[in-house]
Structure 1
Amino acid sequence: MQMSRETLRTAYRQMRTIRAFEDAVNRAFSSGEIPGFVHLYSGQEACAVGVCMHLDDHDYIGSTHRGHGHCIAKGCDIDGMMMEIFGKAGGLCGGKGGSMHIADIERGMLGANAIVGGSPPLAVGAALTAKTLGTDRVAVAFTGDGGSNQGTMFEAMNMAVVLKLPVIFVVENNGYAEGTGVDYAIGSRDIASRAAGFGMPAEHIDGLDFFAVYAAMAEALARARGGSGPSFIESRCVRHHGHYCGDPQGYRSKEELQAARANGDPLLHFRARVGASALLEATELDTIDAEVEQQIAAAVVRAREAADPSPSALLTDVYLSY
């Protein structure tokens, strides 16, 4: 699948933005500036960007507790995200949701979700809405390998097939459900084969390869928009950090962690691919790196200086009257 130089630059900028954002959040959390828990997306950037570059604001995604990358790839405002994570009034959810509950309905971002396996039913509901109203919108459910064991996932997949809904299930298999390895927790050792059992197209892809993700998503999207129903993508990737910031990761050796960052980096894979093919110059990518670092640094400063939520806001946004 051929892409223009501008599309490639956009893809790299999105991936680099996610990485820089997560690095900045990691530093701020480690210094005690961010309340609550933080789960970093570093190492999985190619999946979020390869999927979401095909979508627009009218399409939906459901996310996980590790949702910053999905938010950025779907177009959520960087400043609003950073303020939300810092717990500030200017955050996308008024500073009330924090890292694990960022949502932006105007962008089709149905929310990060602290419930393991929580996004598939939400995405199926959004897809049912799209089919009922006769729109060409689609929904994407991002889930981790741990979430793939949940009954919510199985029920959502079955309903999607039965009703032939425009939904795409994307499982980001990073090898660990918190600290439990895939080889132990997945009886079949093959997550995608479960989806095939429900009667939908399912495939495995290299989640470190942006181009593989992009191509797989293009096929799944064509089926969804064309009325052919759901698809399933198992994206095998590498988690660069622990389950959460501060996780000692006693279940991973130092050698594994070093290899994960050296050999399992989608940004390095992308740079090598476009460089070898003379699609983009290294200097172009370096310029993007510098611009993104400035953008994220400025977002951190604004978040630090932003106002805290007013106590009077405590009881707002609790109920919605239809």
Structure 2
Amino acid sequence: MTEYDGRPPLLDIVMPYYGDVQMMQGAVRSVLAQTDAPWRLTVVDDGREPGVPEWFAELGARDPRVRYERNEHNLGITVNFQKCLDAADAGLVTMIGCDDEMAPDYVATVLGLYAAHPEVAMVQPGVEVIDDHGAVHEPLADRMKRSVFAPKAGGVQIMGGEELAASLLRANWMYFPSICWRTEAIKKVGFDPAFTIVQDLNVTLSLVKAGEKLAVSDHVCFRYRRHPASESSAQAVDGKRFREERSFFMAEAARMEALGWHRAARAGRRHLASRLHAATLVPSAAKRGDVASLRRLAGFALLPAKDSGKDAGRNTNSTRNGH
């Protein structure tokens, strides 16, 4: 851990918190262990776990870079995300998940990438996936991201425009909690309350359409936790996830056509990774004898949606929709 040297923060690390106390404390400790000091951590607590305010009060008394606030009532994921983003005023911001972990050189890495590439608005460092116990593992979805969809060039790659849009519409290979953003850029977009599943992709594509660029590094300095039984997994089984994804991809395809980005539009209409994800859930639904889920999943996997005026007209552009 590098002692605080009094410099104003160059990076705001914001954490929307709800859930497991031990994992949250592990995430906080990973921030405290950073080798570079110009960061500030803000935790916005959307839960009621006992002892948490007291733990942060003691921590904040020792380190003035740590700020904590507990919401008076539960705001929900999207509103709490926006509240965290609103709290950031340093030039850069990272929204770490409350169960993820930073390697000790995360801050040094992203600050170095921005120093070398001041033209970018987003930095995606290398990520390793961990399980509930903190062990490195790579589920099928992450193996596909890495081996099939993510950029293959080593070192640092600068991406933007239709190339990046098409790549992300084929498969969202980025890991949102690990991304470091230019604060001014992401605040112009914010979090759309209409979304629960594609929130991160909507933010990223809104910036890409606005002309912003991304730096992708293969230097691993972030640990992203993948839970076997998450809310998004349940939403996948009941079809909510894929309905939201399909509507979003078709609306984005129409907007890509309007920009003249025809390759990106085709990727949106095909939404390949989303359909592959649905296909991977078909065997488990069949094994359970869940006929309704089986039909839903097979439909999402086999039949890409057709363009529709309703979907194409949906407002998912880079405004903050009243936030």
TM range (shorter): under 0.3
**Which has a greater percent of strand?**
2
TM-score normalised by the chain length of structure 2: 0.26
Q: Which has the higher contact order (CA 8 A, sep 6+)?
A: 1
TM-score normalised by the chain length of structure 1: 0.26
